[in-house]
Structure formats: C-alpha cells, structure tokens
Amino acid sequence: MREIAIAPSVLSADFANLQSEVQMLNQSEADWIHVDVMDGVFVPNISFGMPVCKAIAQHSSKPLDVHLMIKQPDNYLEAFKDAGAERLSVHAEACPHLHRTVSQIKKLGCKAGVALNPHTPIGILEETIQDIDLVLIMSVNPGFGGQKFIENTYHKLTRLQNMMREHDASCWVEVDGGVNDQNAVKLVEHGATALVAGSFVFSSKNPTTTIQELKRSTSA
C-alpha cells in the first residue's frame, strides 16, 4: 500500500506570518506543501503568484505541490518551476492541448498533474492518463477555502480507479477541498493517495497535531 501524502494548503495559512507557518509545516508530518495559484479569471479569486511561491520555497524543506488555477498556464510553467515547484498541476478545462502541456511540465523536470473541476467528467483524461503523474480531483468548486465537501467525489474516485486499471496507468490521486477527519479515511478507501487540507489544518488549535492525526488515520 502506498503511503498517503498529506499536503496542507497555504491558502488557509496566516499570510502575515507565512514564514513561521512554513517552518511549522517543515516540523510536521506533512509530505508536501500545497500552493494554490489563482488569477481571478479562471476562478473567482486571486491568491498569489511566482514571488510568493519562491518565498515559500526558500523556507520550505518540503516539496512544493503547485496548483495552477489560471488561464493559459503554459505561459507560466517555467516561471513556477524556477520559483520552486516540484509538482505542477494544471486544469484540464484550461488546456486545449493537454498532452502538450503535460509534456512541457515533464520537460522542465517537474511532476505533471492534471486537475478536474467537480463538474468535469473523468473521461476527459482517457487519452492522457498514462502520461500523468498526478490527478487532482477538486471536491469543492475552486476559488475559495472552507467550502463544503461534494459527496459525488467518491464516485468520481471510483471511476478514476477503473480508468487507471483499464489503461494500466499509475499516478498519484489527490483530493482537494473540504478534506477533514470525517471523510479522509473514506477518500483513501476510494483510491485517494494524497489529501490537500487547508482550513481543517490551519484553523485547528494545533496544526501539527492535526496533520499527524490525519497522516496516521489514513496510513494505518
């Protein structure tokens, strides 16, 4: 069994104390640091770009898992790689030439991820699933933290597992949105191998303990 990766999202961190938040994650059992990049066009919110990503990377001892919720991501792949991204996930909905985008990410030396909005069917990945390192299933509508988990995510994970078996594909399956201690184990049972947790971690009294408990409950 693959160990489950926990990727706290710094979108929910205290931006005024971002360095100390990253240092807390360094000392925790988190596996990756999830960085949500929003442009205010592809999603109805603006977060941060390359300079903040680079600043996080300078203080992080964990790999940066960068999620590009932006239009025309191809124009920014190299810039985010240079800013410290180890994994780069783009949205299938934003990539008219998805295979080329995935190939470009890999050429840069990053792991290539493809994210799907809640309404986007798994079938869109059928022609590229063997080339992808990570599939990011959005379990809320992207743009804001703290949203309610969409229950259909479990069925979507099952369909993804079926597709991966059919095509003899192997990749990380990451779930982002509304992840907490009430649904984490069930998500893993349905095939998730990486969990993004934002407000659940950073709003807790002790984020380090929360990460530890999430890690141990899902990797048992």
In tens, the pLDDT along 40-58 reads 999 999 999 999 999 999 9
The catalytic residues are 36, 176
Instruction: Report helix, strand or coil for 173.
Output: strand
pLDDT at position 56 is 98
Beta carbons of 137 and 173 less than 8 angstroms apart: yes
Q: Is the pLDDT of residue 1 over 60?
A: no
What gap in Å lies between CA 149 and CA 99, rounded to an integer? 29
CATH class of 5-219: alpha beta
> What number is the average pLDDT over the span 2-22?
95
Q: Which residue has the higher pLDDT, 153 or 2?
A: 153
Tens of pLDDT, residue by residue over 25-35, are 999 999 999 99
pLDDT at position 147 is 73
pLDDT at position 2 is 66
Predicted structure pTM score: 0.96
Question: Rg (Cα) of the chain, in Å, rounded?
Answer: 16
Q: Is the pLDDT of residue 16 over 80?
A: yes
